[in-house]
Amino acid sequence: MNNLTTYLAISAALFLLGVLAMMTRKSAVSVLMGVELVLNAGGLNFVAFSRFGNGSLNGQAAALFIMIIAAAEAAVALAIFLNLYRLKASAEVDKADTLQW
């Protein structure tokens, strides 16, 4: 039960659900939620590999950096969504089809 395969399977399931959210959702905020699921899956993988094996903490350090990147990415992405909402009156990813206005 508590072995590496279990954690890798959970992480793969989270990753696939995140990819599915990114592909099927219309609202940009939901796409961002999909990205967060994928980042969580990556972090879980790193921590699982650091728990099993030779016992170094490098995997946990990598998971910490993933969290930092996720925080920065969420802040910038939401600023972009606010601008998109102002320009197009909706934050759907299909509406972001102009490069310049």
Within residues 41-70, the interface with another protein by CB under 8 A covers 43-44, 47-48, 50-55, 57-58, 60-61, 63-65, 67-70
List the one residue from 75, 97, 98, 100 that touches another protein (CB under 8 A). Answer: 75
Residues 5-44 that bind another protein (CB under 8 A): 5-10, 12-21, 23-30, 32-34, 36-37, 40, 43-44
87 near another protein (CB under 8 A)? no
**Nearest alpha carbon to residue 37 among 16, 7, 65, 60:** 16
96 near another protein (CB under 8 A)? no
H-helix or E-strand containing 7? helix 4-24
- Asked if 3 contacts 52 with a C-beta cutoff of 8 angstroms, the reply is yes
Distances (CA, A) of 37 to 10, 30, 65, 88: 12, 11, 16, 27
CB of 97 to another protein, least distance (A): 15
